[in-house]
Amino acid sequence: MLKKKIQDALNKQVTAEIYSAHIYLSMAAYFGSINLSGMATWMRVQYKEELDHAMKIFDYAIERGGRAAVKAIDAPQAEWQSPLAAFETAYKHERKVTAMIDGLVDLAVAESDHATNNFLQWFVSEQVEEEASADAVVQKLKLAGTSGGALFMIDRELGARVYTPPAAKAEAD
């Protein structure tokens, strides 16, 4: 059975993950509006991944005998000055999420909730990947500068990203 303190923190993270999904969907709309369909695709994949993260935590809370809950979701930013600015926002956001996951791990350790600590280790590893992925695009866009040709090459590369559902979810479907 989840302690209320852990349950409340997990529910806060569920809401944060759904908010993350909304940010990425908003970025997909932004990229679509400026004809960068590859970047829009990359963001749509990110959107789906964030929803998977939310559901993973949601389901875990229920599995542990807790009550899953979702709070109100704020509207995300809708416009950016450039593709670089959008990806810098994504990278900064992923760093914030990492800090939130770290806080959950700290709480699980403080509450001697070994099962939740173990569960959260997947997210710790995932955040390393999330930050690296967003930062890699930021670095490419910085190298591209104002070169339209380089921007379109990056856009084409990012458009090749494909959504892969988590293994457990794929087996259940």
Q: What is the pLDDT of residues 33-50, one digit of tens each?
A: 999 999 999 999 999 999
Question: Do the domain assignments include residue 114?
Answer: yes
Using CA atoms, how far apart are residues 144 and 36, in angstroms rounded to an integer? 15
Question: Do the domain assignments include residue 41?
Answer: yes
Question: Do the domain assignments include residue 173?
Answer: no
DSSP the chain: ---HHHHHHHHHHHHHHHHHHHHHHHHHHHHHHTT-HHHHHHHHHHHHHHHHHHHHHHHHHHHTT--------PPPP---SSHHHHHHHHHHHHHHHHHHHHHHHHHHHHTT-HHHHHHHHHHHHHHHHHHHHHHHHHHHHHHHTT-HHHHHHHHHHHTT------HHHHHH-
CATH of residue 153: 1.20.1260.10
Number of domains in the chain: 1
pLDDT in tens, the chain (173 residues): 899 999 999 999 999 999 999 999 999 999 999 999 999 999 999 999 999 999 999 999 999 999 999 999 999 999 999 999 999 999 999 999 999 999 999 999 999 999 999 999 999 999 999 999 999 999 999 999 988 999 999 999 999 999 998 876 445 54
Roughly how many angstroms between the first and final C-alpha of the chain, as a whole number? Answer: 27
pLDDT at 173: 47
Structural domain for 157, as ranges: 4-73+80-165
Question: Do the domain assignments include residue 171?
Answer: no
By C-alpha distance, which of 166, 133, 161 is closest to 45?
161
Question: Do the domain assignments include residue 150?
Answer: yes
Question: Do the domain assignments include residue 115?
Answer: yes
Question: Do the domain assignments include residue 120?
Answer: yes
